[in-house]
Amino acid sequence: MAEKYDVIVVGAGFAGLMAAKTAGEVGLKTALIEMKHDITAQRRADTQMILPMGDDFLDDRIIFNGKTGLMSFAHNGLSFKYDGPYRDIYAFHLYSVDGNCLRFGMANEQKKFGDRGRIALALDKSKAFASLLNQVKAAGVEVFAGTAVKDIKKTDGAVNVIAHDKIFSGTFCIAADGANSRIAQALGFNKDRGYYSSMNVLGYYMKNLKVPDPDTVYYVIAQYENTGVITALVPRPYDNEHAVVFICLDCRVDLFKFYEYFTRETKLPWFKGAEAKLINSSCGNMWSTIEKPFKDNVLLVGDTIWCQESENFGALLSGGKAAMAIAYALDEGKSNEEGVTSYLEFWDKHFFNSPHYKRDQIMGNYMLGAILKNEEIDYLFSKLNMVLKASIHPYTLFGELGQALGGVVPDIQKEMPQVLAGLGRMQQESPADILKDAASAGFPNR
């Protein structure tokens, strides 16, 4: 008879590591399962080496102690220690390939406010994984690396997580296995969930990029082969080093070719003389958000439930909250949905039905490049050349932008009305409709 865990956590990204750490620390018998052998390696390319600071998100915010590395969620009391270098981020700028830009803050102005002027922290994500893994192990969690999960089955009084060579039995399971989650698939969540497309991502580390400011995150929005490609330049916490991530929601686009095109054709003088090394990649499905992240004693957290909107912040918080909800349920003797009400209410109130959360908003960046041509994006950014409030915050970022846009609509109507028509399409059509062609070439794991 296999030993039974209180909770089995599937996936050791930010959500799963925080879930396992929290569960272990409150005394739950916990297993953490991860398909990678080296949990600390960041092999999946993403732009999120950053944590937003100084603003509320999911009804909480992270308070960072730079002396000890302690990251605390102020409202929920959850915390973890980050043992690694960090860089303060002060602004977020979106560029067209032709060089006009939309600016959320200016770093030199924000720096005048000290720590309160920063909008995010850039971390070394591998070091963050390593820090969390140390805390997971110190909390007595049993870690099963190199273990890919295939299926999950509920029996009377237990959930059984079926890996390639082992079956794990637990009272609860936390599914933190990401955008292509096997658990969400096995539980049937993907059957009637909106599927947008399968994304294609390449991640490089680059040295000596000639960007205007070292403490600003830059996104370049391009149209390429009739679809949108985002190039994210995220400062790393090392001198003159960036993570440069190319993202496309049409998996047919060869991003190596885009890279050549982009670094050759762009008017942005950033890439000359830079050293680049391919580090990671990813192909992830873009699904619409799950309304209720619970089924058969499985709580879903992080990218498993949403379309990447909640970022590292939401992954960490949802992981910790789910673990605490399970601790409460077991203490109360309610190993069922009622026992974990606190997690489901948190999710519903502060995310799914939060007045701040706009469904599909994350798709906006991609839609811009999918709908507008490069010269139209450039024109639009040229009209929005004011400095907006410094932010990289997923809830509030676009609020001011709407107002600013309102002020230049008459000009655009006169000078380039097709831009307004394009923006109108973004408002009226769902991302699924706009991405229909790309989705037809995708690979949803329903």
Partner 1 sequence: MVKINTDLCTGCGGCINICPVYALVLSKQDKAQANQNCNDCKICVRACPVNALSL
Q: How far is the CB of 45 from partner 1 (least distance, A)?
A: 7
Q: Would you say the C-alpha torsion 290, 51, 13, 174 has a positive or negative sign?
A: negative
CB-side neighbour CA atoms (13 Å) of 106: 7
Q: Are 68 and 141 in contact (CB under 8 A)?
A: no
Number of neighbouring beta carbons within 10 Å of residue 349: 12
Can you read off the two tokens belonging to residue 275? 């050293």
Nearer Cβ to partner 1 (33/94) = 33
Q: How far is the CB of 31 from partner 1 (least distance, A)?
A: 18
Q: How far is the CB of 67 from partner 1 (least distance, A)?
A: 34
Distance CA 248, CA 364 (A): 13
DSSP per residue, 121-166: EEE-HHHHHHHHHHHHHHTT-EEE-S--EEEEEEETTEEEEEESS-
Nearer Cβ to partner 1 (200/308) = 200
Distance CA 48, CA 282 (A): 13
Q: Are 442 and 195 in contact (CB under 8 A)?
A: yes
Nearer Cβ to partner 1 (178/319) = 178
Q: Are 11 and 303 in contact (CB under 8 A)?
A: no
Q: How far is the CB of 385 from partner 1 (least distance, A)?
A: 34
Nearer Cβ to partner 1 (72/280) = 280
Nearer Cβ to partner 1 (63/441) = 441
Q: Are 337 and 82 in contact (CB under 8 A)?
A: no
Nearer Cβ to partner 1 (25/177) = 177
Q: How far is the CB of 280 from partner 1 (least distance, A)?
A: 5
3-state helix, strand, coil in the chain (%, to 5): 35, 30, 35
Nearer Cβ to partner 1 (132/255) = 255
Among the listed residues 224, 222, 196, the one whose alpha carbon sits nearest the alpha carbon of residue 430: 196
CB-side neighbour CA atoms (13 Å) of 267: 10
Helix (H, G, I), strand (E, B) or coil at 380: helix
Q: Which phi and psi angles does 43 have, rounded to 5°?
A: -100, -20
Q: How far is the CB of 283 from partner 1 (least distance, A)?
A: 4
Q: Which spans of this chain sit near partner 1 (rule: CB under 8 A)?
A: 35-38, 41, 43-45, 146, 148, 150, 164, 177-178, 180-182, 185, 198, 200-202, 251, 254-256, 278-285, 441, 443, 445
Nearer Cβ to partner 1 (6/177) = 177
Nearer Cβ to partner 1 (389/446) = 446
> What residues have CB less than 8 Å from 376, skipping those under 6 apart?
416, 418, 419, 422
Sheet containing 86-89, strands listed edge to edge, beginning at the edge strand earlier in sequence:
50-52, 120-123, 86-89
Quick one: how far is CA 224 from the chain centroid?
Answer: 23
Q: How far is the CB of 251 from partner 1 (least distance, A)?
A: 6
Q: How far is the CB of 182 from partner 1 (least distance, A)?
A: 5
Q: How far is the CB of 230 from partner 1 (least distance, A)?
A: 14
Nearer Cβ to partner 1 (302/320) = 302
Q: How far is the CB of 430 from partner 1 (least distance, A)?
A: 23
Can you read off the two tokens belonging to residue 220? 């370049």
Q: Which amino acid is at 240?
A: N
